[in-house]
Structure 1
Amino acid sequence: MELAHERDADTNVISPSGRVDGSNSAAFHEALLAALSDDDSRVILDMGGIDYISSAGLRVLLLLAQHLSGSSKPFAVCSLAASVDEVFRISGFNQIITVFGTLDEAKAQLAS
């Protein structure tokens, strides 16, 4: 699992790639928290590079959403691969975390 991030104005776009499972979920969580900044008004997790996520990975996303909610920062995920989207729907995570089809949609909706 790798992680890249870039700031576009006051939006932090974090782009992980690879698999997220029990073997790397702790490192994934630490990397996500390290990518955050107090200057971020919004955070978007571009999941286009994630081809697999386990329940351990979902737990990390839930912890991130709770962390950002506590600081009143809008958070969304986007660009889910079909297999990851299915996991989100089956687990009900699409009801917990805002999901957009593309990064552009996420940026536009969170900016308004």
Structure 2
Amino acid sequence: MDIQTKKESRATVVTVIGRMDALTAPEYETRLGAMIDDGEKNFIIDFGQLDYISSAGLRALLTTGKKVKSLSGAMLLANIGGAVKDVFAISGFGTMFPMHDSVHDALGSALG
């Protein structure tokens, strides 16, 4: 898994590339946790290049989402497709986070 970040005017865009599973989810949590500790509270998670997400990845997403919410921030998801979209639909995660077709759409939405 590779994680790339880009600071936009209204949020930090976090692009997750590859697989988010039991081996890589802790890195995601650590990276986002550090950004949250540094004062970031609005995130767009770009899953356009994510090939696979396991229950450990979903758990990491939920954990960071709860931290952001506790700070009155926002975590929006973008570019979810393929097998990852299927996992979100089956697990119910598609209703837990605002989902957008693109990062551009997410940036244009209401952020906390």
Which TM-score applies when normalising by structure 2? 0.90
The aligned amino acid for 2:98 is T
Query: Taking every aligned residue pair, what percent have the same amino acid on both sides?
Result: 27
Return 23-32 or 101-110, whichever deviates more: 23-32
Determine the C-alpha separation between the residues in 2 that align with 1:34 and 1:60.
14
Is the aligned partner of 1:67 residue 2:79?
Answer: no
Give the letter aligned to residue 76 of structure 1: L
Correspondence 1:1-112 to 2 at 5 A:
1-36=1-36, 37-38=38-39, 40=40, 42-111=42-111
Report the CA distance shift for 1:2/1:35 in structure 2 as closer, same or farther (over 3 A): farther
TM-score (norm 1): 0.90
2:79·2:100 contact (CA, 8 Å) conserved in 1? Answer: yes
Displaced runs of 4 or more, over 6 A: none
- What stretches of structure 1 of length at least 5 have no aligned partner? none
Q: Which runs of 5+ in 2 are unaligned?
A: none
- Does structure 1 retain, via aligned residues, the 8 Å contact 2:46–2:77? yes
Secondary structure of the equivalent of 1:51? strand
Alpha-carbon RMSD across the aligned residues, in angstroms, is 1.6
